[in-house]
Structure 1
Amino acid sequence: MLCLNFQCNKRKCDEYDRGNIMIRCHLARLMGEHKMRISDVMRETGLSRTTITLLYKETALKVDLDALDKLCDLFNCSLSDILERMPNNDKSRTFNPKFHQK
């Protein structure tokens, strides 16, 4: 998994912390409510397994707007039902330029 900092190219970075994610993806919850599997979402939307899996596991670093639109159509929901911005209260995990030097 890559560090979430765009200036860091390290595969495993101490700055990456799952508990500090600011954007949450609720695809897994929506799929559960609709009793859908990844293969069902693939078939209905035409999205790749990789795209759906990354969103399902909340490990995606970026998301295509077309993918979000297809998911909103599939689940008949708004974007805010899929993505949610969470408050980031832990100010101790800010970017440390010394850590990311090459």
Structure 2
Amino acid sequence: MSDRGTIVIHLDELLKETGLSKNKFCQRAELQRSQLNGYLNNTITRLDTDVLVRMCDTLNCTISDLLEYKPKS
């Protein structure tokens, strides 16, 4: 966690809610599996707005459903 806080990606929870498999999600959102794993594990360091748009469109969610800012406590 940085000294200012962190961004938490809720992709795993959203995938479970929709019932989409990881493979089907990658196909529909036009993602490579390695990209998906980075987002699922919260190890991605640079968020790509085009990727986020495709994720939200595929999951029929908003950016605030997908991302959460957690300030340093």
TM-score range normalised by the length of the shorter chain: 0.7 to 0.9
Q: Deviations over 1:54-98 (max 9, x none)?
A: 101111111211000001101111101100001211xxxxxxxxx
1:58 corresponds to 2:42: yes
Spell out, residue by residue over 1:37-56, the C-alpha distance to the aligned partner (whole angstroms, 9 max, x if none). Answer: 22111111111111111101
Question: Between Structure 1 and Structure 2, how many residues are aligned?
Answer: 71
Aligned: 1:87 with 2:57: no
Name the TM-score, length of structure 1 as normaliser. Answer: 0.64
Q: Which residue of 2 aligns with 1:74?
A: 58
Q: Give the structure with higher Rg (CA).
A: 1
The gaps in structure 2 that reach 5 residues or longer are: none
Does residue 29 of structure 1 match 2:13? yes
RMSD: 1.6
1:100 matched to which residue of 2? none
1:46 to 22, 30, 46: 30
Name structure 1 gaps, 5 residues minimum: 1-16, 90-102
TM-score, normalised via structure 2 length: 0.87
